[in-house]
Chain A
């Protein structure tokens, strides 16, 4: 029996950003959301290869929108988290929560 694919740290960040942005999730908005929440701008190459990898794993699905003149007639590639992706990120976050229990790290960081 093969283990179900899991999401790495950056993959989880991208999945959460796609979830936060919602229907308008494409390269620029996902990148902006990650930068706003983590205070770190992701490398463009890393973002696209991660989105491709997430799509290969079945965690996100993508479709192309209509071409826009602002983008030189190039279409946006919109992303949406699949049920499998949602399960993977939820499972990973639950693990983090269990590990954090009793440590009071967040309280200390805010102190």
Chain B
């Protein structure tokens, strides 16, 4: 007999414990006629089916962050241009923030779908921030962006679900970007402790964007669970109206 406790523990890393136990129980029922190899093959496929979407979402979020960052700081000399106009603070905050919004939007779109309220709010915010970042020389567009933000906020307060989506977006981006700022604050100390290799290559420097995306992804999952999933479950448990 295969080690069912180990299989259950492995599956429970990606879903809740009772669901993992029932899935392993299902496999155990069929194991006598199909064998241990089939059992472990099924365990691997169950784990893959629970994780592939998040792995893909993480990869796309990383690429989105890298793309927006490269576009703003390498392809377009945004930092130099903004600093030349004494907009140093804008260069250091809005541009990286826009990259974080892009990463969060990509991650949430793949994990929860395009119809999800949080996805829609994040894409709207990305549109606003990226327009502000790249077209900041046109005052009319900045004004239109500010107006768009006001309209998004007002429209979001109309329904409770949209309000919660806005709250989830604020939480996710606040934690993601706040985490990034905190890591950036600690990073020089860390690099001081971990010296560069003889070739000058630093794995730790390459790990920074991975860490940022990991924090942003975890923040998106947590905010979605807190503001949208949990509230939905509470609403579903409430008794429905008699004539509905």
Contacts and interface: CB of A to CB of B under 8 A. Distances in A.
Contacts of A39: none
Main SS at interface, chain B: helix
Contact of B23 (A44, A68, A72): A44
Given A28-B30, A44-B27, A45-B45, A74 B22 contact: yes
A29 to B, nearest CB: 9
A48 interface: yes
Contacts of B18: 64, 75, 77
Interface stretch (B46-54, B74-82, B180-188): B46-54
A74 B21 contact: yes
A27 B45 CA distance: 15
Contacts of A75: 18, 21-22, 25
A76 B25 contact: yes
Contact of B115 (A2, A31, A64, A70): A2
Interface in B20-70: 21-30, 42, 45-50
A20 B164 CA distance: 38
Given A58-B236, A72-B4, A74-B21, A49 B26 contact: no
Interface residues of B, number: 24
Contacts of B42: 44-45
A3 B22 CA distance: 33
B126 to A, nearest CB: 21
A72 B48 contact: no
A68 B25 CA distance: 9
B49 A48 contact: yes
B19 interface: yes
Given A45-B46, A72-B4, 19 more contacts: A2-B115, A27-B23, A27-B26, A28-B29, A28-B30, A31-B26, A44-B26, A44-B42, A45-B42, A45-B48, A45-B50, A48-B15, A48-B19, A64-B18, A64-B22, A68-B25, A71-B29, A74-B21, A76-B25
Interface of A: 2-3, 26-28, 31, 43-46, 48-49, 52, 58, 64, 68, 70-72, 74-77
